[in-house]
Amino acid sequence: MAKAAAYRLPTDRPHVMGILNVTPDSFSDGGQHAVPGAALAHARAMIDEGADILDIGAESTRPNSVPVAQEEEWARLAPVLEDVVSLGTPVSIDTYKAEIARRACAAGAVIVNDVWGLQKDPAMADAVAEAGAHVVMMHNRSGADGDLDILGDIDRFFETSMELASRAGIAREKQILDPGFGFGKTIDQNFLVLNRFETLKKHGLPLLAGASRKRMIGAVLGADIEDRLYGSLAVHMTALLKGAAIVRAHDVGPHADCVRMLEATSLERNPN
């Protein structure tokens, strides 16, 4: 757990978080990396392509996915987690279960990526605080409501998550917010959130954007999941220009190139 306590997310440039799903049923790459050897090889490949963080998850959160029991989730993670950590790139654990977060941080994870923003498992905030880990608090809803003021709902959700984090003793500099593209939102609401992404900076925390290969892209391009790279890059570059600190992506190499180009264009604005 000392590893998580010592880690600090660098803020000098945007970061690319590479997705490593050790699941049989994730919407984009389910089953591809469920075998430990394949998972480790993919982790190495993403590091070579420029991943700053590896986000490993063992339970699919795609629409209509079936919840996975805690021990099944851990059984998928246990054979690969320590080996992935040993590669040296900071590891994030994608889970909303406190006990999984505890075990993963004990194995070397430094970020907990909670798709329910500390609001699903009452023990999660304390688990993150005890580990000294960073936490990504994502906005989520059990279902989409096209009549909802989604931006107001995100603000209220974030305020609750930040209060839970503060009450548990999670340092503010270790808190990250994610508006949750594709989670409990209509297609139009997803694009409204993207268009107003910069307004989320008012909460004063780093922002993560994770729209990789999602349905909002397919809805515009009419593209199947495997053909949504360019749409993913467009959404993520828009978010970066509007203040995102992290983009979470399946295709690390192209995203790393985009971040490098964004850094290059920022040199004129920041000559010193």
* Helices assigned H by DSSP within the chain: 2-6, 36-49, 70-77, 81-85, 98-106, 124-131, 150-168, 187-195, 215-221, 229-241, 252-266
More confident residue, 66 or 187: 187
pTM of the model: 0.93
* pLDDT of 198 over the 80 cut: yes
What span, in angstroms and rounded, lies between the C-alpha atoms of 27 and 179? 19
Segment 138-173, tens digit of pLDDT: 999 999 999 999 999 999 999 999 999 999 999 999
Per-residue pLDDT at 26: 46
Segment 209-266, tens digit of pLDDT: 999 999 999 999 999 999 999 999 999 999 999 999 999 999 999 999 999 999 999 8
Per-residue pLDDT at 267: 75
Percent of the chain surpassing pLDDT 70: 92
Residues designated as active site: 214, 248
Confidence class for position 63, pLDDT limits 50, 70, 90: low
Per-residue pLDDT at 30: 46
Give the contacts of 81 (CB within 8 A, at least 6 positions apart). 56, 91, 93, 104, 107, 108, 109
Give the DSSP H/E element, type plus range, for residue 114.
strand 111-114
More confident residue, 215 or 30: 215
Confidence class for position 120, pLDDT limits 50, 70, 90: very high
